[in-house]
Structure 1
Amino acid sequence: MKSGAFFLIILLGLSVVSAGCIGGSPQGKATQTLIVFHAGSLSLPLQQLEKEFSSYAEKNLGVRVTFQDEASGSVKAVRKVTDLGKKADIVAVADYTLIPQLLVPNYTDFYVLFATNEIVIAYTEKSKYANEINSTNWYEILAKPGVTFGFSDPNQDPCGYRSVMVMKLADLYYNKPVFETLVEKNTNIYANGTHIYAPREIEVKGDKLVIRPKETDLTGLVESGSLDYFFIYKSVAEQHHLRYIILPDEINLRDFGKADYYARVSITLGSTGKTIKAKPIVYGVTVLKDAPHRDLALKFLKFLLGENGRKVFMENHQDFLNPPVAFGNVPEELKPLVKVEG
């Protein structure tokens, strides 16, 4: 091959590469990473939704989107922002009240209620008395010698403080000392009437009870057979194909019509000093004021609150509010998707 022809081929090749970059090929698109602090129980639906949004953003917004997810208990997720000064774009929690209590007005000026859940007791066929436990005798089974159970840390995770409030509500519903038998005898968490106190440093007595930072940390222990039962959200039990006991509506924190009944029980958390009343389970989400990629984060939130998000959450066995309910200085692009309150 003559040298002139060789150099012509090289030049043509470079021109094609350059044209591809200028034309906005995937290799030439900017990449932005959204940082999401979220409840552990949101891990699976968020992972699926993030994958779908990444594809949508590349096709429609001209940007490559990656996600840096940090799953934890919701209290811990919020305290990463308020106490540790960590940067995030989105905070999604299993108890929406944490946002107005701890993030408004310094860190955000709006939030959206978007999903619900309920507390169940999950187990496998390997759990002791798996063929005997039901919605009327569960507290007796958990109290049996040799049976182990768990819940997440009330100071870090709403599923934890909801679990202990469920056991106090069980006192009222069954007229039995469920809370004393299962909680007070096994930890330093205690109650005065229907008000529960969770010390900043929770101590576990004996080997009957296991407490972990977030509810999903207990899933593997039950799946492996090293733990018999644990208190968990129904959606997580479904996602992991676990057996579970449906608790009566008077104690499972699912029924909005029983909000006044639930509110008879409350808990003070040593981690925050805040007192929380038992209430129907509602998840909340916000975009922070100083979000590194605020505009893109709002686009993702719009994606979550629309039909895409509703479909993904229903596929992951979690009920979605219709419509989601928003409070505060709600961004204009979200208003068509939500009911604005207050």
Structure 2
Amino acid sequence: MALSDPRDRGAVNRRTALVTAGGLVGTTLVGCLGSNSNAVRVLSAGSLAHTFEEHVGPAFEEKTGIEVHGEYYGANAVMRMVEDRTKHPDVIVSADATLLRDRLYGDFTHWDVVFATNSVGIGYNEQTEFGRRLEDGEPWYELALESNEGDISIGDPDLDPLGYRAVQAFELAENEYDLDGFRDKMMGLVYEEPDEPQMMAGVETGSRAAAIVYRNMAIDHDMPFFEFPDEYNFAVPALADRYGTVEFTTDEEGYTAIGRPVLYNATVNDEADASEAGHDLVQFLIDETDLLVEAGLTVGDSLPRLEGDIPGELTV
């Protein structure tokens, strides 16, 4: 299925810049998590960079007068930066709710708000052979096995839940279609891209045929998107048990991520300098569900959902 976004693609966000931290490249709004009495600092999963820059940040500033200063990385890297205090954010946002709880509960927070979900699939360039044949209805997994090494990219699974969800999707597809060795064969073919914007840029220019991405990322880039079936798109909470039959263990921390639905959650750092503004921003995510849907995310009937020892300022 091809998705389009009616928003103007020609506008350039002049507040966007690239920063390097800990060997990773991320996108940041002006401020780079620096101190500002009228700003809230956000450290977020990279798949929400466009969501915060083009939707949440401007709308929140218009409503409250508080600027959003954000940096965006793979969620594993986000957790590591908080744990080792490389970054000192007010608000922390993860693309894997369980990851945030496993890594940050106790030392940095005691609560979170699950505010949106997403689905996993293939963002592709329709001008490539892979894209043309995919649109003709050929099975994606057969096309993937016929692709050249590096034609398809995934996020780095050691840094990013999107990366390890791609690996898990390969394994679930292997089980679904009885494709002997499919996961391992795909891991020998794909390129692991640590910088999410570069992954999308490669597909847009045609230097890569496709990438395993979230739905909202395809919408952000006005890119055709083939959504994986529910059995392995990580978008259906009712299929959590099926997703949970696969797992991935990262190399660096040795963290084992069990397959689970995509759930975005946010919390305020116990060490936040601007905790009041942080709570205001999280409440904004709770209240402005239409804004999140406009950005390509999904907010089902069970969301937003509060977890843990919720501060009294927050309500659903």
- Among residues 55, 67, 72, which one is paired with 2:62 in the alignment? 55
After superposition, residues 1-342 of structure 1 pair within 5 angstroms as 31-47=37-53, 48-58=55-65, 65-133=66-134, 137-146=139-148, 148-177=151-180, 178-183=182-187, 186=188, 208-306=189-287, 308=288, 310-322=289-301, 323-334=303-314, 336-337=315-316
Q: Is the 8 A contact 1:160 1:214 kept in 2?
A: no
Deviations 1:47-104 (A, max 9, x none): 221111112113xxxxxx2222111101111111102442110011100111111101
Deviations 1:185-208 (A, max 9, x none): x1xxxxxxxxxxxxxxxxxxxxx5
How many residue pairs were aligned?
Answer: 276
Tell me how large the CA RMSD over aligned residues is.
1.7
Q: Is the 8 A contact 1:122 1:230 kept in 2?
A: yes
1:192 is aligned to none
TM-score, with length taken from structure 1: 0.77
Looking at structure 1, the residues matched to 91 and 147 of structure 2 have their Cα atoms a distance apart, in angstroms, of 44
Q: Give 1:36's aligned amino acid.
A: V
Looking at structure 2, the residues matched to 111 and 271 of structure 1 have their Cα atoms a distance apart, in angstroms, of 25
User: For residues 55 and 173 of structure 1, do their structure 2 counterparts lie closer, same or farther at Cα, with a shift above 3 Å needed?
Assistant: same
User: For residues 145 and 57 of structure 1, do their structure 2 counterparts lie closer, same or farther at Cα, with a shift above 3 Å needed?
Assistant: closer
Percentage of identical aligned residues: 27
Looking at structure 2, the residues matched to 180 and 78 of structure 1 have their Cα atoms a distance apart, in angstroms, of 28
Looking at structure 2, the residues matched to 290 and 167 of structure 1 have their Cα atoms a distance apart, in angstroms, of 39
Q: Give 2:186's aligned amino acid.
A: L
Looking at structure 1, the residues matched to 147 and 211 of structure 2 have their Cα atoms a distance apart, in angstroms, of 16
Specify the SS of the correspondent of 2:154.
Answer: strand
2:19 is aligned to none
User: For residues 285 and 132 of structure 1, do their structure 2 counterparts lie closer, same or farther at Cα, with a shift above 3 Å needed?
Assistant: same
TM-score, with length taken from structure 2: 0.83
Deviations 1:259-289 (A, max 9, x none): 1111111111122222111011111110000
Q: Is the 8 A contact 2:60 2:67 kept in 1?
A: no
Pairwise CA distance, 1:258: 1.3
Report which of the two structures shows the higher radius of gyration computed on alpha carbons.
1
Q: Is the 8 A contact 2:120 2:233 kept in 1?
A: yes
Pairwise CA distance, 1:118: 0.9
Q: Is the 8 A contact 2:123 2:226 kept in 1?
A: yes
> Tell me, which stretches of 5 or more residues in structure 2 are unaligned?
1-35
Q: Is the 8 A contact 1:31 1:66 kept in 2?
A: no
Pairwise CA distance, 1:214: 4.3
Looking at structure 1, the residues matched to 59 and 299 of structure 2 have their Cα atoms a distance apart, in angstroms, of 18
Pairwise CA distance, 1:211: 1.4
Looking at structure 2, the residues matched to 165 and 41 of structure 1 have their Cα atoms a distance apart, in angstroms, of 18
Looking at structure 2, the residues matched to 145 and 256 of structure 1 have their Cα atoms a distance apart, in angstroms, of 32
Looking at structure 2, the residues matched to 125 and 261 of structure 1 have their Cα atoms a distance apart, in angstroms, of 31
Looking at structure 1, the residues matched to 279 and 81 of structure 2 have their Cα atoms a distance apart, in angstroms, of 21
Looking at structure 1, the residues matched to 195 and 116 of structure 2 have their Cα atoms a distance apart, in angstroms, of 19
Looking at structure 2, the residues matched to 78 and 145 of structure 1 have their Cα atoms a distance apart, in angstroms, of 34
Q: Is the 8 A contact 2:130 2:209 kept in 1?
A: no
Looking at structure 2, the residues matched to 215 and 233 of structure 1 have their Cα atoms a distance apart, in angstroms, of 11
Specify the SS of the correspondent of 2:121.
Answer: strand
Looking at structure 1, the residues matched to 106 and 298 of structure 2 have their Cα atoms a distance apart, in angstroms, of 28
Looking at structure 2, the residues matched to 53 and 174 of structure 1 have their Cα atoms a distance apart, in angstroms, of 45
Q: Give 2:295's aligned amino acid.
A: N
Pairwise CA distance, 1:164: 0.3
Looking at structure 2, the residues matched to 285 and 217 of structure 1 have their Cα atoms a distance apart, in angstroms, of 25
Pairwise CA distance, 1:256: 1.6
